[in-house]
Amino acid sequence: QSVLTQPPSASATPGQRVTISCSGSSPNIGSNTVNWYQQLPGTAPKLLIYSDDRRPSGVPDRFSGSKSGPSASLAISGLQSEDEADYYCSSWDDSLSGPVFGGGTKVTVL
Amino acid sequence: QVQLHQSGPGLLKPSQTLSLTCAISGDRVSSNSLTWNWIRQSPSRGLEWLGRTYRTAQWYTEYAVSVKGRITISPDTSNNQFSLHLGSVTPEDTAVYYCAGGLGSLRFWGPGTEVSVSS
């Protein structure tokens, strides 16, 4: 069981918006920033969002992150076929003294 | 741009020691700008952080509770790389192992090494 809780799947048609939730608790999301990773099939995870809502250079502004209390969200607007991937949230956990991950959400473009 | 290149065997027998190396280009393992991490991914355990090494005024190494006692992560400044050693492996350690670099987040990832533990 992952420390952070994500829905296993999400889907939408091209051009629509999809939102992925990530639920944690006070030692992790409640006290630390959240990062999001995108993993395309057969590849390593790629940093998508860091420090709750910041995008690394090269990540389209269709991807946005937010956080409220012990929960966070990733939104993908204007969904495109190349966005089909697994998405993982992550945060430092003060009790475990290391980063923890969600179980991942598979996004399908219908 | 930082790039990470992984090497090491992918097939082990139970009780053996897993040894992987991550070579760094574009930065120094001894720089105080990034931490150097090992993460694994399996269907049963998902993404699991194993530990990290980094240098500020001195070298630090931190390990996940789940593997403490079996794991060693070491920097190699001469070859600008860092390594993972995981002892007494069991089939539960079968996973894809990634090295990654970052500060606060894991910005740079190696391609991954598939490791299988089987008798």
Nearest by CB: B46 against A98, A99, A104: A104
Residue B20 near residue B12, CB atoms below 8 Å = no
Closest of A36, A32, A11 to residue A22, by C-alpha: A36
Instruction: Count interface pairs A-B at CB distance under 8 A.
Output: 52
A64-110 tens-digit pLDDT = 999 999 999 999 999 999 999 999 999 999 999 999 999 999 999 99
Distance from CA of B92 to the nearest CA of A (A): 15
Q: What is the pLDDT of residue A4?
A: 98
Provide, rounded to the nearest whole percent, the portion of chain A with pLDDT above 90.
Answer: 99
Residues of B in contact with A100 (CB under 8 A): 49
- Secondary structure letter of residue A4 according to DSSP: B
Q: Do B111 and A44 lie within an 8 Å CB cutoff? A: yes
Distances (CA, A) of A28 to A8, A94, A100, B11: 20, 6, 8, 35
Flag whether residue A91 sits within 8 Å of chain B, measured between CB atoms: no
Candidate from A47, A96, A97 with C-beta closest to B105: A47
CA nearest to A57 within chain B: B107
What's the confidence (pLDDT) of residue A93?
97
* Six-digit token string for B35: 């931490």
Can you tell me the mean pLDDT for B35-51?
97
Banded model confidence at residue A1, pLDDT cuts 50, 70, 90: confident
Compute the distance between CA of residue B98 and CA of residue B73 in angstroms, rounded to an integer.
Answer: 13
What is the pLDDT averaged over residues A46-72? 97
Backbone angles phi, psi at B72, to 5 degrees: -140, 130
pLDDT digits (tens, 9 = 90+) for B73-116: 999 999 999 999 999 999 999 999 999 999 999 999 999 999 99
Where residue A18 falls among pLDDT bands split at 50, 70, 90? very high
Whether residue B69 is predicted with pLDDT greater than 90 in this model: the reply is yes
Please report the pLDDT score of residue A110 as a whole number.
94
DSSP-derived letter for residue A83 is: G
